[in-house]
Amino acid sequence: MRDAGPAQRSVVSPTPANSRPGSVAVWDFPLRVWHWSLAGFVLVACVTPNTFDRLHRLAGYAVIGLVAFRLIWGLIGSRHSLFARIGLKLRAAPQYIVGMLRGETGRYLGLNPAGAAMLVVMLALLIVSTISGVMQVSVRFFGVGWIEQAHALSSNAIIALIAVHVLGTVWMSLLQRENLMRAMVTGRKRVPGIMRAAPARSVARQSPEPEPVADEEQISVVPDLPPLRVNPAPGAAKPARMPRSLSVHDRRLGVGR
């Protein structure tokens, strides 16, 4: 015999096994492997010139392959790996860097304007350094002065840019109270309260009010647009979504916004 009262069941939303509460997948696995592999091979190339020439050459060839992969992945990869509208970020980079030095930044899930500028400059320097390095050991260009100078200057610039990248990552981690280096290992980043899913509640209970978010918290879900205010003015138009269908890599990450 059934009870007279209606049964109450809890509504449970499925959650991926590798996810954490309050975080979202941002950097896909191929991009993370690329990032740390590039860091390792560049480090090997920086400490082996004129001492371990064979190892130096092998590291340089590996960097060429990694740069080629990144250029391709910027066209077919997941949302936050794309080069889409990177020109908008480059134009916003000077103002963003000034604000960053003042401790005023918007928060991006993907690359912020400073990171986009860093990526473009780094890829350009890596291309110059690796191509000039290959030319330097060829029969036709062996001993050519401007080739050797281009290789040395670009390689030194890469070392300086790596130092700036590390310092900038530490600075942004302190400003935003988030470990960005760990995010490049796990692929996940913290999400502000406005984007967190509501906790499971009984269907008979009234849904709670949205969790308040600090006024200074800003976030851009679409990585190629400026950061969006979390508390927009009433009646303001909704931000446009990226004009691109989700790729298979986005679907694997669960990116559907």
Dihedral of alpha carbons 132, 134, 139, 140, sign: negative
Per-residue pLDDT at 177: 86
pLDDT at 216: 37
Q: Phi then psi for 111, rounded to 5 degrees? A: -70, 135
Q: What is the pLDDT of residue 221?
A: 38
- Stated pTM of the model: 0.69
pLDDT reported for residue 235: 56
pLDDT single digits (tens) 25-54: 899 999 999 999 999 999 999 999 888 989
Q: Which residues of the chain have pLDDT under 50?
A: 1-19, 193-232, 239-250, 253-257
pLDDT score recorded for residue 21:
58
HEC assignment per residue over the chain: CCCCCCCCCECCCCCCCCCCCCEEECCCHHHHHHHHHHHHHHHHHHHCCCCCHHHHHHHHHHHHHHHHHHHHHHHHCCHHHCCCCHHHHHHHHHHHHHHHHCCCCCEECCCCHHHHHHHHHHHHHHHHHHHHHHHHCCCCCCCCHHHHHHHHHHHHHHHHHHHHHHHHHHHHHHHHCCCHHHHHHHCEEECCHHHCCCCCCECCCCCCCCCCCCCCCEEECCCCCCCEECCCCCCCCCCCCCCCCCCHHHHHHCCCC
